[in-house]
Structure formats: C-alpha cells, structure tokens
Structure 1
Amino acid sequence: MTHDPGRPAVTVGPEPATGRPKPAARLFYIDNLRIVLTALVVLHHTAVTYGHIPAWYYTEPAKDGSGLALDAFVMFNQAFFMGFFFMIAGYFTPSSYGRKGTRPFLRDRLKRLGIPLLAFILLIRPLVNFSGYTALRAQLAEQGRDLPYWLYYGLSWDAGPMWFVEVLLVFSLVYALVRHRRARGLAGPGSEGAGVRAPERAPRPLRPFAIVTFTLGLALATYLWRFVVPNGSYLPVLGLPTPSYLPQYASFFVIGVLAHRHGWPQTLSRVAGRVGFAVATVATLAYLPVVVTAGNGVLDGRGSWQSLAGAAWESTFAVGVVLGLTVLFRERFHRQGPVAAFLSRHAFAVYLTHAAVLVGLGYAFRWLHTLAVVKFALVAVLALPLCWAVAYAVRRLPRADRVL
C-alpha cells in the first residue's frame, strides 16, 4: 500500500558526479511492518465474520460470549491499523513524485491503484457479494417480486476493502496538485515545474511537544467530525465503511509525507517507542470504564462526552502504537530472509484477494458449530497461508506483477 506496493524504497540523495538519484535503499523494517498490517487486515475481517459487527460479505454472528473478544480485537485494530497504512503510503509518496513528476506520477497511481480497484469491483466483488443477493432475492420472491443480479449489483455498489485504494487515489491526486502548484510557483510563470525537486534536508528530530499537540488536535478534530459523521456511518457511493475515521486517515497521510521530508523515523529514539506503547496501554486502561458503562450509541458521536473520550482514546492509542511499532521494527526487524521477502512482495495482492478467500472459507466451515473464538482461530490459521498462496497465483498471471 505504498507508492510501489511490495517495494518500499527511499531515494538517499543525488550522486555528486552525475546529480542523479542514488539507488534506492530498501527499508526492510517497513516491508515487515506491511506484512504484519496486511495479516491484521485478514484477521480483522475474520473476526468481523464471527463477531457481532455485521460489516462483511459473509457473517455468522456469535451466539456466545467469546464474540465480545472478537469485537474488542476489531476495536483495537480499527483504532490504528488503517491510519498506519495511510502513513506508510504518505511516507513514500514524495520520493515517487520526485522521481516521476506530476503526470507520470498520476499515471503510475492510476495503474498501480486504479487497475486493482477495477479488478476487485468487476471480478472479485460479484463472487463475494453473491450471498447478499440470494438472501434479498428470496425475500422479494416471497412478495412476488424479482430482482435481477445486474440491478442488485448496481444498487449495492461499493469498493469493499479496496476503499483504502480509492481514498489513497484521492490523497495522491491532492498531493500531486499541491506539489505541482508549488513547483510552478518556485520555477516562475510559464514553467511546468515537473522536474523541480525539494532540496535535501538533514533529519530533524520529532519533538515530544509536537507529538502531544498532534494527538490533541486529532482527538478534537475526530470529536467534531463525528457530530456530522458518527461511528457506524457508511458512504454508499464511495463505499467507505468507516468515514468517521477520515480525520485520522488524512492527517496520518500528511504526517507520513512530513516524516519523509524530515527523516522522523530515523530520529525516533528507543525511549520514544517504549513511551508510545506505555501511553497506549495507560490510555486503554483509562478508557475501559467508559466503554463498559456507556449506553447504546453514546460512543458513536453527536457530541456526547463519551464520544470525546472515545476520540481521545483512539488518537492516543493510534499515535502510541504507531510510534512503538515503528521503533520496534526499525530496531529488531530491519532485515529480510527469503520468507519475509516473499510475504512482502505479495502483501498488496493479499489485500486485493483476501475477501474471496475468507468468504470461501466461511462457506466451507458453515457446518461447524462451536465457540465463535474457536471458529475464528481455525479459519484464521487456514486463511493466512491460503491468502498468500492465492496472491502468489494471481501475481503469476501475465503482467499482474507489474501492477501488484
């Protein structure tokens, strides 16, 4: 989900003799972070399948208390993992734009993001969404009405999990327009400015005050946004399942851009990582009583004090976990063997195809009646390797590896 899915890299500066960029340095720890986040996406939707949140193509709502554990897992994931994806994408956007210029950059975005988006909508979505069609068609048949599939497909259109790609395309377009206008201004009237590069900057440490200020600002923006777009909202045209998180997605993308510009990931200390995890833990413990005692719907937004507490927890938890994971992976997981390299190369294809795998497994184990958490564990153990196997097969198709 970076500028070049599966191949994160940075330009490390111009060569003195030629002025051309040096070969890109692989950031293996970000590669490895993307593997973990992609696996979390698969596990997240598996948990939705067997929990109490009816927000997936195939669900079996839990009939026992273990479903609450799956709902909690979904809540913790949702608080940070898609924002982290947007931050990683934002981090690699400036170097991609700097190498290509405006028009090639946008063409590349349309190819690497637009083609997979269309592939999901036209090829995968009809497969995974068919259960919804059969259920609705049966209901209408009892009333003597018919529902052709083409009508259902059009009326129920959405991008599914590829909403991330859809939003990232918008963010990339906005970024390119801003950079293009800024470059034209620097180059003077009449210049396209496509080849103007930002000057090289020495890494600048990220100050604690800036982190705290950003976290407070994000919490306030999220709280105010949810006056209008509370949790549980859905944008049917764009297919966004979590529009209440847009302040986080947009701000994390911007932070990723700034992190590239100032070299923040390289300047974060080990103490910053430990403090990030500690703050996320303390914030969670403080927030738990609010969750346990909150009435139905009061956490969703619309100005309740509980929604302010929820926005504060989400923002603090997300920032703390992102800081902690960034430092942890930079210090402990900044290398790759053949297995990790394979997983990284196919991560974006997993994101594209995992819905079909999970829905297929859901139907395959529909007969099994057991605890929700047990069924989640069984399907998850099978889904993770199967998702990467399917991704490998898809990337073996002619020209698919040029896009995925």
Structure 2
Amino acid sequence: MPQVPSRTLWIDYLRSFLTVLVVAHHSSLAYTTFARFDKVAYIRSTHPIVDNRCWIGLDIFENFNDVFFMSLMFLIAGLFVIKSIQRKGPGAFVRDRFYRLFIPFLIGGTILNLIAHYPAYLIAHGSAHLPAYIKDFFVVEQWPVGPPWFIWVLFTFNVIFALIYAVFAKKVSTPAGLPSPAYASPIKSAEEMASPAYAAADANLHPHARRPSGPSRTILLWFGFTFMLYVPFAFWLGPGKWTGFGPFDFQVSRAAWYFGYFLLGIWLGKVHFNEGIFAISAPLVRRWPLWLLMCAGAYTSLTITPPLLTDLVKQGSLSEFAGYLLYFSNYVLSATFSCIAFMTTFRALFKKPHAVWDSLSENAYLIYLLHYPFVIWTQYLLLGAQLPAFAKFVITFSATLLGSWLIAIPLRKIDPVRKYI
C-alpha cells in the first residue's frame, strides 16, 4: 500500500476512531443507570432498548463521549472544505455533498431506521404487525432520526458555507504585488515558496500556520471560543433541548457550537496546518501527554462537582445562576481539553499507516451509516441473557463494529454505492 501523507493519515485515523466511539456510545445506552423506556411513544425513551442490567461505569463513559466527540467530528469535517470548494467550484461542491451526504441521510434515516427501531415497537406493543409498525414509526414516533442527524446537519453546514464562499470569495482580492494565497494553487515551485514575497503573503494571510501560538494562549482562545458558542445557548434553551421535524432533528442548544467548530475546521484547513499549531514539533503537539492528563482531570471534575454545586445552591451559598455557570464552564473546559488531547495525541503518535486502521478509515462512513440496526437488534436479543451490563455492552459493541465493518467492505466495491460514499 502506498504511503499515505501524514497530513491525511492522522486526521483519517482520528475520524475513524471517533466513528468507533460513536458505535461504543450507542452500544452503552441500553445499560446506563439513567436509561428509561416509554411504552406509549418510545421516541421519548433515552434509547430504543433499555435493559434491566445497568452499570454506572457506562454512564461515565457515555457522558465523556457526549462532552466532545460530535463537536470534534464537525471540526474534522470542515478541515478540507475550502480546498474542495476551490478545486471543484461551489456548485460542483454542493452537488457532490448532496450525493455523499444527503442521499445517504435519506436512506439511513428511512430504511435503516425502520429496520433499527422495530425491536422497540415489539417491546412497546407486543405486536409484530408490520403495517401497524410502519404507521407508528411515521405518525406516533414522528420519524425517529437516530445517528443520521449528524449527516443532514453536516450537509446543511456545507451548503451554507458554499453559499457564503460563492458570494464573498470574488470580493476578496489579493493585495497588489503579492502572490495569490498559498491554498489557491496546490502546486508551487521551490523558487516561489522560497521567495520573500511568498513568505510575506503566507505569513500575513495565514499567521496561524507560520507563527503558531503558545499552548497556553491556544487553550485559552479555544476555551473562550467554545464558551461563547455553547454557554449562552445552554442558559437560554437548556443544555439538552432538541427540535426539528421528522428526521430533520437536531440539538438546538448546540447548533452554534457545532457550526462554530465546523468553521474552525475550515479556518485551520485553509493552509497546511500540520506546519502550524499541529506541526509535529509544535509545543502544543509535543505536550500531548499533558493534555491527556488535563482531559482526564477536567472530566473528573465535571463528574464529581455537580452534587457539590447542587448542595451549595440548596444551602443558599451559591445562586442558581452561579451554579449553572460553574457547571457549564467546567463542561466547556472538559470539551476543550478533550478535543486538544485527541488531536495532539493522534498527530504525535500516528506517523505510519497500518493495514487494519487503513481499512477502518476507508469504511468508517459506511460503518457510521450501518451500525444502528446492529446496536438495537443485538441489545434486543440480549435482553433475557443473564449477563452483567458490561458484558452485554462488550458483546453489543463487538458485534456491531464487526458486523457493520464486514458489510461495508464489499458494499464499497459496488459502483452505484461508491458514488455516494
């Protein structure tokens, strides 16, 4: 297998790792201590399957994922957007995203979700009548969205940015006497890149690539950016509020956060960010073990402080607003260190391709699309098994990852499928 450029390698591996986390996240939801099932409308349940076996350790795991992994997926999704638009043009870019994102969303949100949620209907109604199930799925449950929500939201973000780019790109001109931005032409001669004019233009237009900030400043800016995108909306709308219609459902309190991280990814991707703050020799990357420790510490604090804050509010020692502000600030800190820790760790450690991980990366998108029916059906079949919650989680996760992976490999080779993935 030819050497994969390191710029793509660690990002591809991180993206596929996050896909595995998504599979593990959904595999854990049937076994958390807060899981509940609503037989009247299972859409109101915490998960389509709820087992009577539970373990608080899976609460901790599930909550850790929820803090950061979707926002990091949106950031990664934005990294190569602007170069793709410049190579294809806004119109062709949107058309390609329509095939790659929106069409699979419709398939995943309809056919795969119908397959996935059937066990929930069986538990709620004790009936296997298929027409009644389909009617209940669309009318009573109002078309549960499941994991494909990420895909339609990402498609929307891509379209919005492509429109913005189409409107404003032509109005932005390069200063006289300077070459075009580095990202405008992917091929530069050694003489061009060594010229003082090129260096000056690249440094002025993209200072984050040539003069990376120190780690403390980067973390502070990252924290402040995330705080502004999340905390005001969490106060205003509530941290867990979802809205939408039919399959077009999304977590409204995080919409700004996710779009902001998508734009952050676009900003980072304007240049070869491997030579900037994520250069292998950059201080931020060299200290990746510290960020892992800070990630663990911030999440530990987030886990143990809520009861303390609640007690202080009840005692009158702390206002309710101050209590929530401290909690949300800790939440943002945990998200910040988690994102930085995983990005710097993958940048520092993954330098050479590995055959198994290459296969996982190549099939990660299909695994994401296909995994949910495996999750719910495996959890359903394990309901009567006299096994600990953790054992059921491991079986569900393993069966789901391997099952969706094994289907994805041959599916990718089918010509009509390749167009959409």
Give the alignment's TM-score, normalised by structure 2.
Answer: 0.77
Q: Which amino acid aligns with 2:135?
A: W
Q: Name the counterpart of 1:193.
A: none
Q: Which amino acid aligns with 2:296?
A: T
Q: Name the counterpart of 2:302.
A: 287
Aligned CA-pair RMSD: 3.1
Q: Name the counterpart of 2:9.
A: 28
- The 1-side partners of 2:255 and 2:310 are apart by 24
Which moved further from structure 2: 342-351 or 27-36? 27-36
Deviation at 1:383, TM superposition (A): 2.4
- The 1-side partners of 2:25 and 2:106 are apart by 23
1:319 aligns with 2:307: no
- The 2-side partners of 1:148 and 1:165 are apart by 25
Deviation at 1:365, TM superposition (A): 1.8
Q: Which amino acid aligns with 1:179?
A: Y
Deviation at 1:178, TM superposition (A): 1.4
- The 2-side partners of 1:392 and 1:235 are apart by 35
- The 1-side partners of 2:269 and 2:89 are apart by 17
Q: Which amino acid aligns with 1:385?
A: L
Q: Which amino acid aligns with 1:106?
A: V
Q: Name the counterpart of 1:340.
A: 357
Q: Any idea what the Cα deviations from partners look like across 1:256-296, whole Å, max 9, x if unmatched?
A: 11111252433743344344323323323433332344559
- The 2-side partners of 1:223 and 1:212 are apart by 16
- The 1-side partners of 2:330 and 2:307 are apart by 14
Q: Which amino acid aligns with 2:11?
A: I
Q: Any idea what the Cα deviations from partners look like across 1:52-89, whole Å, max 9, x if unmatched?
A: 3456653224545x2x1111111100111111110101
- The 2-side partners of 1:241 and 1:180 are apart by 26
Find 1:93's aligned residue among 59, 81, 84: 81
Deviation at 1:136, TM superposition (A): 5.2
1:172 aligns with 2:158: yes
Q: Any idea what the Cα deviations from partners look like across 1:193-217, whole Å, max 9, x if unmatched?
A: xxx9757835231443243033134
Deviation at 1:389, TM superposition (A): 0.9
Q: Name the counterpart of 2:232.
A: 224
- The 2-side partners of 1:128 and 1:115 are apart by 18
Aligned residue runs from structure 1 range 154-233, under 5 A: 154-155=139-140, 156-186=142-172, 198=184, 201=202, 203-204=209-210, 205-207=212-214, 208-233=216-241
Aligned residue runs from structure 1 range 1-400, under 5 A: 27-51=8-32, 52-54=34-36, 58-64=48-54, 66=55, 68-135=56-123, 137=125, 149-150=134-135, 152-155=137-140, 156-186=142-172, 198=184, 201=202, 203-204=209-210, 205-207=212-214, 208-237=216-245, 239-240=248-249, 242-262=251-271, 263=273, 264-266=277-279, 268-269=282-283, 270-293=285-308, 295=310, 304-400=321-417
- The 2-side partners of 1:376 and 1:197 are apart by 45
Given that 2:367 and 2:401 are in contact with CA atoms closer than 8 Å, whether structure 1 keeps it comes out as no
- The 1-side partners of 2:289 and 2:387 are apart by 39
Q: Which amino acid aligns with 1:224?
A: P
Deviation at 1:328, TM superposition (A): 1.7
- The 2-side partners of 1:219 and 1:82 are apart by 16
Deviation at 1:184, TM superposition (A): 2.9
* CA distance 1:149–1:123, shift in 2 (3 Å): closer
- The 1-side partners of 2:263 and 2:287 are apart by 20
* CA distance 1:206–1:373, shift in 2 (3 Å): same
* CA distance 1:224–1:271, shift in 2 (3 Å): same
* CA distance 1:241–1:167, shift in 2 (3 Å): closer
Q: Any idea what the Cα deviations from partners look like across 1:74-127, whole Å, max 9, x if unmatched?
A: 110011111111010111111111111110000011010011101112311111
Which moved further from structure 2: 303-312 or 386-395? 303-312
Given that 1:57 and 1:128 are in contact with CA atoms closer than 8 Å, whether structure 2 keeps it comes out as no
Where 1:235 maps in the other structure, the secondary structure is strand
- The 2-side partners of 1:109 and 1:283 are apart by 36
- The 1-side partners of 2:184 and 2:264 are apart by 17
- The 2-side partners of 1:123 and 1:245 are apart by 27
Deviation at 1:26, TM superposition (A): 5.8
Q: Which amino acid aligns with 2:138?
A: Y
- The 2-side partners of 1:307 and 1:370 are apart by 38
Give the alignment's TM-score, normalised by structure 1.
Answer: 0.80
Given that 1:87 and 1:255 are in contact with CA atoms closer than 8 Å, whether structure 2 keeps it comes out as yes
Q: Which amino acid aligns with 2:380?
A: Y
Structure 2: gaps spanning 5 or more residues: 37-44, 175-181, 186-200, 204-208, 314-318
* CA distance 1:266–1:278, shift in 2 (3 Å): same
- The 1-side partners of 2:25 and 2:133 are apart by 32
Deviation at 1:152, TM superposition (A): 3.5
User: How many residue pairs are counted as aligned between the two chains?
Assistant: 364
* CA distance 1:25–1:278, shift in 2 (3 Å): closer
% identical aligned pairs? 23
Which moved further from structure 2: 268-277 or 363-372? 268-277
- The 2-side partners of 1:399 and 1:26 are apart by 29
